[in-house]
Amino acid sequence: MEESSKNHLKSISVAAASALPILGGPLSVLLDKYLPEFVEDRRKQFWIEIDQIIGQLEDKGKQPDVRSQKFLSVFVKCFRLATEEYEEEKIQAFRNIIVNSSLPNSSEFDETTLYMNWVREFTVDQIRVLKAIKHNSQIAFDDSSPELYYILKAHFPDVPKDYLIMCAQELVSKNIVVYGKGHRVRELNNHENKIWFLSNMGERFVSFIEIPGA
């Protein structure tokens, strides 16, 4: 990436870090001692990864724009959310949202904000379920029961029942995972039976958070 763009990315990452809320109370001494170092390390690593990926996209002939209003807004929001996370899958998801928001998008709809909210809202287990369904269609196929919970339970046996039911219900209620059959289902598993699979929105969401340059 050209030097001016690198400096621009570094500047907005510093600005995003400085925008983190200041906490008071009895934990303030502890936070004053450890939080700045933690935030600085996370900021540097996050910026380096984004810089490297955007540079790779430029090498492939893509034209990321790191100066647009959209990119700046997404960067600051995702940086703050990623800094608050400890789950690596969520941190990577926010990173990929930033990278993908730098690329031209002909859509007039603001799906990026929706994806940010979903990554923030969903548990990391829900994100893993979506990725598993995307990459292994058989995970969501079962002749014996139409209930998504029972199908997921077979693949995630150690997850508590009530927690897994909640995870499954939320993904279905948001129309991210759907139940049906037809061309899309035959394409996935060569069965005529109804199965659970990712909706078009679900496919786009998982690709956006999983693949830099999607």
The region of weakest confidence among 8-22, 96-110, 150-164, 166-180 is 8-22
- Answer whether residue 197 is part of any domain: yes
Find the length of the chain: 214
83 or 175, which is more confident: 175
- Answer whether residue 108 is part of any domain: no
154 or 116, which is more confident: 116
Give the pLDDT confidence of 196-209 residue by residue, as tens digits.
Answer: 888 999 999 999 99
Residue 184 has pLDDT above 80, yes or no: no
Give the pLDDT confidence of 130-143 residue by residue, as tens digits.
Answer: 998 888 766 666 55
What was the pLDDT predicted at 86? Answer: 86
Give the pLDDT confidence of 12-69 residue by residue, as tens digits.
Answer: 555 555 555 544 555 555 555 655 676 677 778 888 888 889 989 888 888 888 888 8
Nearest of 176, 188, 180 to residue 146 by alpha carbon? 180
Between CA 199 and CA 210, with CA 205 as vertex, the angle to 5 degrees is 125
153 or 116, which is more confident: 116
In the chain, pLDDT over 90 holds for what percent of residues?
Answer: 28
Identity of residue 130: L
- Answer whether residue 117 is part of any domain: no
Last residue within a domain, chosen from 99, 115, 143: 99
Give the pLDDT confidence of 89-122 residue by residue, as tens digits.
Answer: 999 999 999 999 998 875 667 899 999 999 999 9
DSSP H helices, the chain, are 3-18, 28-59, 69-84, 88-101, 111-121, 124-135, 148-155, 161-173, 183-189, 200-210
Helix, strand, or coil (residue 46):
helix
What was the pLDDT predicted at 114? Answer: 94
Assess whether 83 and 136 both reside in one domain. no
32 or 125, which is more confident: 125
- Pair type for strands 177-180 and 195-198: antiparallel
Assess whether 132 and 89 both reside in one domain. no
Number of domains in the chain: 2
CA distance 94 to 90: 6
Residues 6+ apart with CB under 8 A from 93: 119, 127, 209, 210
Q: Report the CATH number that the domain containing residue 160 is assigned in CATH.
A: 1.10.10.10
Assess whether 56 and 134 both reside in one domain. no
- Answer whether residue 12 is part of any domain: yes
Owning domain of residue 70:
3-99
- Answer whether residue 214 is part of any domain: no
Assess whether 93 and 181 both reside in one domain. no
Assess whether 86 and 164 both reside in one domain. no
Q: Can you give the pTM of this predicted structure?
A: 0.76
Identity of residue 123: T
Assess whether 14 and 87 both reside in one domain. yes
- Answer whether residue 107 is part of any domain: no
- Answer whether residue 106 is part of any domain: no
Assess whether 128 and 91 both reside in one domain. no
Q: Retrieve residue 25's tokens.
A: 């109370």
Assess whether 135 and 87 both reside in one domain. no
Burial 130-149 (b: 16+ CB within 10 A, else e): beebbeebebbbbeeeeebb
Helices 28-59 and 88-101, interaxial angle, to 10°? 50
What was the pLDDT predicted at 19? Answer: 53
Assess whether 94 and 129 both reside in one domain. no
Residue 214 has pLDDT above 80, yes or no: no
- Answer whether residue 147 is part of any domain: yes
